[in-house]
């Protein structure tokens, strides 16, 4: 019996070995086939772009995308170091045979997909695979100089494409569309490439049901234009559009549509307004902080001054101008100056649907117009929002604050297939949105009904136009991209490349549906794009709750540079935001925990962000998703600051410390010249030794029950400048030798 069992075991092992060998051989063969398929489809797509019409080009490009997806699925089966090495070798062998631009593209796609896979495995399953990344990078470097002959053919192809472009009309408009008053005339332009008729309607009042209609003329770029004599400032306008009744199109000549490029609009579903955008700026040369020096304060325009305790009175309460009432000496703006933050991030102020699908939409993440300011925050709804938002930005600049806008280019207020056309749907539904195979329905990786088709040339143009417009016309200092990975990678790269160098850029590196991500955290490394760091949020919260994973905590405190960022400023660190619980609610009112959170946030490398009210232990009554609460749940109750003055003073002191000493704001990934770690016996505790002209120790103890003993590096006396409750740059008292940190406490020492 024993011999029979042994023989069976041997047979099973041999069978498994044969199966594994066959699988390996099959994988290598399939990999080469997939690379060839990508090269073939890239070649066919290039030919279609040169020779075919739009439909042929779209079909060919879709086939190319499908072959790349097939390659991604194959590489997703790679798990081990040996499999990675085999894959690298097969891609190397393929690289030796590259003779065309299409084959070069396939080689680069394969290498990029493999690198992304290995980075994912390193972050989620096996950090030891990090060594395999070097072989991938070496392979990329090896072939970077071997493709010169291929790049020559690429240059010739680009030249040919330029010639072809001159022969055929462009489908992408140039210039800023919308309504413009120039030389005593008012010009109107709107994009609708498949429409058969577009009419402009002018109205005297916003409530008018009928107006004066003009038939517009279509250009070869798909833009319909019409000029009217006179400066029509204050005139209301809308469009009606007719066109094909095929699936995917939503043309309705009886329905008024607002202008997608409207510079002012009456609510989200009303008429557009010809508005005078002139403004006399008082602050001419505002200097934006560098990304590494930014301390961001996320706030909602209405919430900041709507509460009865805000001290703001009259018609501007809860509006743009409310924040400027009393300016720097006011309870609200004076609070921000005293706190010391230098960047104000405004939650969405693009015109939005305030009552989406019958539910209050207080936060503003249902944008309808990307060039118009939200009119409900203004004194009236006939274009006043333009000058009043500019006045707010000008006033914030005069007080030393940069202004960042939270922008929502991933979806719009038009919703899913049940949503009525407001603008985009009625002009070019398949151009502005990603439609499913059944063109009645929309892809919905945003969880909000639709996804913008950002890869479409005109949608990408609209996004870039909008961003540049807010920078030039409103002097905005930066942008935060909601659900940023819904924006395609090419368009996001254009945003990084085309906006002025000192513009602050941050993004959520995720979508509501992770399968709809167009890029990830490890993309755009070594650029100015900072990503919201949910790793920081989760690892530091865990430490505060006594579940410290030391390696992870050390990584996020140092700027996540060993995971996905190339330098600390690419990591936007936060522990509280508009989404989710406030820290006070999360930690059930435990001030020791909220103090420890403040110390970790403001001593970590990266760009810190504070949510409005976090600095004085605000509560929202346990509501972790208050998007639909236009009331005191969201309004800032300034009486709470008086009750929690100790928490505010701690934040204020930590911000002053961060701004004074560059130990906390390093521009490069840290090494042992900048930082050493101290790991005491208590596994829930760790310390940062930040080196420089002044040396700092930041000691954390996440243990709720036990003290942690730290041996202080370098002999002599240290000044204790923060004992976990109070902070004083000159020092509270001195310490030397060993230092014992109480439970759930952070302390800071300087030498």
One fold for both 294-664 and 675-750? Answer: no
Q: How far apart are CA 637 and CA 618, in angstroms?
A: 8
Q: Are 357 and 588 in contact (CB under 8 A)?
A: no
Q: Could you report the average pLDDT of every consecutive run of 10 residues in the chain (751 residues)?
A: 50 47 64 84 73 61 79 87 85 75 85 85 77 80 58 42 40 85 97 98 97 97 97 98 97 98 98 98 95 97 97 94 85 95 98 96 98 98 98 97 98 98 98 97 98 98 98 98 98 98 97 96 96 98 97 98 96 98 98 98 98 98 97 97 98 98 97 96 98 97 98 94 98 96 98 95
Q: How far apart are CA 725 and CA 283, in angstroms?
A: 38
Q: How far apart are CA 352 and CA 316, in angstroms?
A: 19
Q: Return the pLDDT at 16.
A: 46
Burial class (CB in 10 A: 0-12, 13-18, 19+), 716: exposed
Q: Return the pLDDT at 199.
A: 98
3-state secondary structure of 687: strand
Write down the residue that tokens 């833009």 correspond to.
Answer: 223
Write down the residue that tokens 């009928």 correspond to.
Answer: 210
Partner residues linked to 178 by β-bridges? 189
Q: Are 559 and 674 in contact (CB under 8 A)?
A: no
Is the Cα dihedral 54, 60, 63, 67 positive or negative? negative
Joined together, the tokens standing for residue 504 give 């602050």
Q: How far apart are CA 368 and CA 365, in angstroms?
A: 10
Q: Are 429 and 383 in contact (CB under 8 A)?
A: no
Q: How far apart are CA 746 and CA 196, in angstroms?
A: 67
Q: Are 42 and 100 in contact (CB under 8 A)?
A: no
Provide the angle, in degrees to the nearest 10, between the axes of the packed helices 645-660 and 591-603.
10
Class of domain 294-664: alpha beta
3-state secondary structure of 599: helix
Burial class (CB in 10 A: 0-12, 13-18, 19+), 699: buried
What CATH number should be reported for the domain whose range is 675-750? 2.60.40.1180
Q: How far apart are CA 9 and CA 542, in angstroms?
A: 46
Local structure of residue 587 (DSSP, 8 states):
T
Q: Return the pLDDT at 384.
A: 98
Q: How far apart are CA 457 and CA 213, in angstroms?
A: 30
Contacts of 535 (CB under 8 A, 6+ apart): 552, 555, 556, 560, 563
Residue burial 333-353, b: 16+ Cβ < 10 Å; e: rest: bebbeebbbbbbbbbbbbbbb
pLDDT digits (tens, 9 = 90+) for 120-138: 787 777 877 877 887 888 7
3-state secondary structure of 237: strand
pLDDT digits (tens, 9 = 90+) for 456-506: 999 999 999 999 999 999 999 999 999 999 999 999 999 999 999 999 999
Count other Cβ atoms within 10 Å, centred on residue 6.
10
Alpha helix ranges (H) inside 353-383: none
Joined together, the tokens standing for residue 439 give 């063109």
> pLDDT above 70 covers what percent of the chain?
90
Q: Are 580 and 538 in contact (CB under 8 A)?
A: no
Q: Return the pLDDT at 31.
A: 86
Q: How far apart are CA 539 and CA 587, in angstroms?
A: 15
The pTM of this model reads 0.79
Q: How far apart are CA 114 and CA 94, in angstroms?
A: 14
Q: Return the pLDDT at 63.
A: 79
Domain residue extents for the chain = 2-167, 294-664, 675-750
Q: Return the pLDDT at 167.
A: 36
């Amino acid at each position: 019996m024993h011999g029979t069992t042994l023989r069976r075991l041997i047979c099973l092992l041999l069978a498994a070995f044969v199966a594994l060998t066959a699988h390996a051989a099959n994988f290598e063969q399939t990999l080469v086939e997939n690379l060839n398929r990508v090269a073939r489809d890239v070649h066919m797509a290039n030919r279609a772009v040169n020779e075919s019409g739009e439909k042929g080009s779209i079909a060919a490009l879709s086939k190319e995308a499908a072959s790349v997806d097939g390659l991604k699925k194959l590489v997703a089966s790679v798990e081990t170091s040996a499999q990675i090495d085999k894959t690298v070798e097969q891609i190397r062998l393929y690289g030796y045979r590259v003779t065309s631009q299409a084959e070069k593209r396939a080689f680069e796609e394969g290498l990029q997909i493999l690198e992304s896979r290995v980075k994912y495995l390193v972050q989620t399953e096996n950090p030891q695979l990090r060594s395999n990344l070097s072989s991938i990078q070496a392979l990329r470097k090896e072939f970077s100089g071997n493709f010169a002959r291929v790049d020559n053919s690429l240059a010739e192809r680009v030249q040919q494409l330029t010639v072809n472009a001159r022969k055929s009309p462009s489908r992408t408009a140039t210039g800023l569309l919308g309504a413009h008053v120039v030389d005593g005339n008012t010009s109107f332009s709107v994009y609708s490439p498949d429409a058969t008729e577009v009419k402009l309607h002018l109205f005297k009042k916003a409530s008018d049901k009928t107006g004066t209609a003009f038939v517009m003329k279509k250009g070869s770029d798909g833009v319909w234009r019409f000029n009217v004599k006179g400066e029509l400032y204050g005139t209301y306008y809308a469009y009606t559009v007719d066109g094909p009744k095929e699936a995917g199109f939503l043309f309705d000549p009886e329905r008024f549509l607002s202008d997608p490029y409207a510079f002012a609009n009456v609510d989200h579903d009303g008429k557009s307004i010809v508005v005078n955008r002139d403004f006399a700026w008082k602050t001419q040369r505002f200097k934006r902080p560098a990304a590494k020096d930014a301390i961001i304060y996320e706030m909602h325009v209405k919430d900041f001054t709507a509460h009865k305790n805000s001290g703001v009175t009259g018609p501007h309460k809860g509006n743009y101008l409310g924040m400027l009432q009393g300016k720097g000496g006011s309870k609200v703006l004076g609070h921000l100056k005293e706190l010391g933050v230098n960047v104000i991030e405004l939650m969405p102020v693009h015109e939005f649907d305030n009552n989406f699908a019958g539910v209050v939409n207080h936060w503003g993440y249902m944008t309808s117009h990307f060039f118009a300011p939200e009119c409900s925050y203004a004194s009236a709804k006939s274009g006043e929002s333009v000058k009043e938002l500019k006045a707010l930005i000008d006033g914030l600049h005069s007080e030393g604050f940069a202004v960042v806008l939270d922008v929502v280019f991933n979806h719009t207020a038009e919703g899913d297939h049940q949503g009525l056309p407001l603008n985009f749907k009625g002009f070019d539904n398949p151009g502005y949105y990603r439609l499913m195979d059944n063109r009645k329905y929309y892809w919905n990786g945003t969880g909000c009904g639709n996804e913008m088709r950002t890869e479409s040339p005109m949608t990408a143009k609209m996004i870039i136009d909008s961003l540049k417009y807010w920078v030039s016309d409103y002097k905005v200092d930066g942008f935060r991209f909601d659900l940023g990975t819904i924006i395609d990678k090419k368009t996001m790269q254009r945003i990084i490349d085309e906006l002025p160098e000192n513009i602050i850029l941050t993004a959520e590196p995720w979508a509501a549906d992770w399968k709809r991500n167009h890029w990830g955290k490890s993309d755009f490394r070594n650029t100015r794009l900072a990503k919201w760091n949910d790793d920081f949020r989760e690892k530091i919260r865990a430490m505060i709750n006594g579940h410290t994973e030391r390696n992870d905590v050390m990584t996020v405190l140092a700027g996540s540079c060993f995971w996905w960022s190339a330098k600390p400023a690419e990591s936007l660190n936060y522990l509280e935001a508009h989404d989710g619980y406030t820290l006070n609610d999360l930690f059930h009112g435990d001030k020791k925990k909220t103090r420890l959170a403040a110390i970790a946030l403001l001593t970590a490398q990266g760009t810190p962000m504070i949510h409005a009210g976090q600095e004085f232990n605000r509560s929202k009554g346990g509501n972790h998703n208050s998007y639909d609460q236009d009331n005191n749940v969201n309004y800032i109750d300034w009486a709470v600051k008086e009750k929690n003055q100790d928490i505010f003073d701690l934040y204020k002191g930590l911000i002053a410390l961060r701004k004074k000493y560059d130990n906390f704001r390093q521009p490069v990934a840290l090494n042992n010249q900048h930082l050493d770690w101290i790991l005491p016996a208590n596994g829930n505790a760790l310390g940062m030794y930040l080196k420089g002209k002044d040396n700092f120790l930041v000691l954390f103890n996440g243990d709720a029950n036990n003290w942690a003993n730290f041996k202080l590096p370098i002999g002599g006396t240290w000044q204790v400048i923060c004992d976990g409750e109070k902070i004083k740059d000159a020092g509270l008292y001195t310490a030397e030798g060993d230092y014992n940190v109480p439970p759930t406490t952070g302390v800071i020492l300087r030498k």
